[in-house]
Amino acid sequence: MADVAKLAGVSLGTVSHVLSNRTPVRQETRERVETAMAQLGYRPNRVAQALRRQRTHVVGMIVPDVANPFFSELLLGVESRLEPAGYAVVFGNSRESGSTQQRYVDPFLERQVDGLILAMAGDTDPFDLQSLERRTPTVLVDRTVAGWSGDQVVGDDKSGMELAVQHLRQAGHTKVALINGDKVLSTARRRLEGFEAALRQQDLKPFYVSHGSFTMESGLAQTAAVLDLSDRPTALCTGNDLLAMAAYAELSRRGLRVPKDLSVVGYDDITYARLVSPPLTTVRQQAAEMGAVAANLLLERLGTEPLAGRSIAIRPELVVRQSTASIVER
């Protein structure tokens, strides 16, 4: 830094102000300092800065299934807020395993990340979460658990599934089935609640309900069970878009068509939802927005005095495409 200051013709404090970006510096002076840094090949020692400031400017994020585009979009939303704020995001894929998740959490904490953003695995121990909250600022995103008192950003899963069922009812469907994720997950439970509530409002009962996991493999198996019924539904709600796409594949394998033989509604509106044939009617869940809001909550917690836990629900919307049709059209 002394060499940079000498070459730029400024004080050591001015160089420090340019590097920290916390004190205003005239643009002409900043450019002289940056030019000197480039000429000397100077790079600040971030590790030393972190030790001095007790901040690493690194945030850990763990998701349960990196192969699911929803979680990739969630990560992009987090990065969109943290990167401009000077934070790096280190990433882990728990593969829906609480023990694998913990194998990421422990080294993250050992490396003194400033905070964590967690889309938790299905078998996460609530006690571990409460312990984690006491050790480092933590924000839950997409999924939650009873007793959590910290920050969280979730989708309004109940109202989202209600939108899907209401759309099918308006198209004249009364035989509506649901294939879903694991009921241990708050997302699957709330989507089931919305499915049942919307049917009750129409004095109807669920025609068929099954649970598995939010994966295409599970979607294939669950759809096969639906299609093996002697009396088939006319419409299918799915707990996420991967399940819906698996339903497409199983229907095609049997020589059946969407929506002629079965109307299908997805959930999430991942990028591929509009690219499949026919384009998928789905409940749009703003994954990138959820990630950005979660990052904002973490930044606020890192930058202020202790805050009470905050819970934000992002309301979804129905996107109608060509995978659903009215009973008359069928």
What is the spatial distance between Cα 126 and Cα 327, in angstroms, rounded to a whole number? 45
CA dist 42 → 19, 26, 295 (Å): 11, 21, 31
Matching CATH number, 2-44, of 1.10.260.40, 1.10.10.10, 1.10.1040.10, 1.10.3720.10: 1.10.260.40
Cis peptide before 306 (omega within 30 of 0): no
Domain borders along the chain are: 2-44, 56-151+288-307, 157-285
Is residue 235 a contact partner of residue 263, using CB atoms and an 8 Å limit? yes
The pair of structure tokens assigned to 41 is 């090949």
Per-residue pLDDT of 277-326, as tens digits, reads 999 999 999 999 999 999 999 999 998 766 788 999 999 999 999 999 99
> What's this model's pTM, rounded to 2 decimal places?
0.82
pLDDT at site 51 = 47
pLDDT at site 45 = 61
Could you list the pLDDT tens digit for every one of the 330 residues in the chain? 889 999 999 988 888 888 776 677 888 998 999 999 888 888 776 555 554 446 789 999 999 999 999 999 999 999 999 999 999 999 999 999 999 999 999 999 988 999 999 999 999 988 888 888 888 999 999 999 988 989 999 999 999 999 999 999 999 999 999 999 999 999 999 999 999 999 999 999 999 999 999 999 999 999 999 999 999 999 999 999 999 999 999 999 999 999 999 999 999 999 999 999 999 999 999 999 999 999 999 999 998 766 788 999 999 999 999 999 998 655
pLDDT at site 42 = 86
Is residue 251 a contact partner of residue 233, using CB atoms and an 8 Å limit? no
What is the spatial distance between Cα 281 and Cα 57, in angstroms, rounded to a whole number? 40
pLDDT at site 46 = 53
pLDDT at site 306 = 64
Domains 2-44 and 56-151+288-307 share a fold: no
Instruction: Determine whether domain 157-285 maps to CATH 1.10.10.10.
Output: no
How many Cβ atoms sit within 10 Å of the Cβ of residue 174?
16
Helices (H), the chain: 2-8, 12-20, 27-40, 46-53, 69-82, 98-110, 126-135, 157-170, 186-200, 216-227, 241-253, 287-303
How many Cβ atoms sit within 10 Å of the Cβ of residue 329?
11
Superfamily the domain 56-151+288-307 falls into = Response regulator (3.40.50.2300)
How many Cβ atoms sit within 10 Å of the Cβ of residue 322?
14
What is the spatial distance between Cα 242 and Cα 193, in angstroms, rounded to a whole number? 20
CA dist 95 → 233, 302, 305 (Å): 32, 28, 35
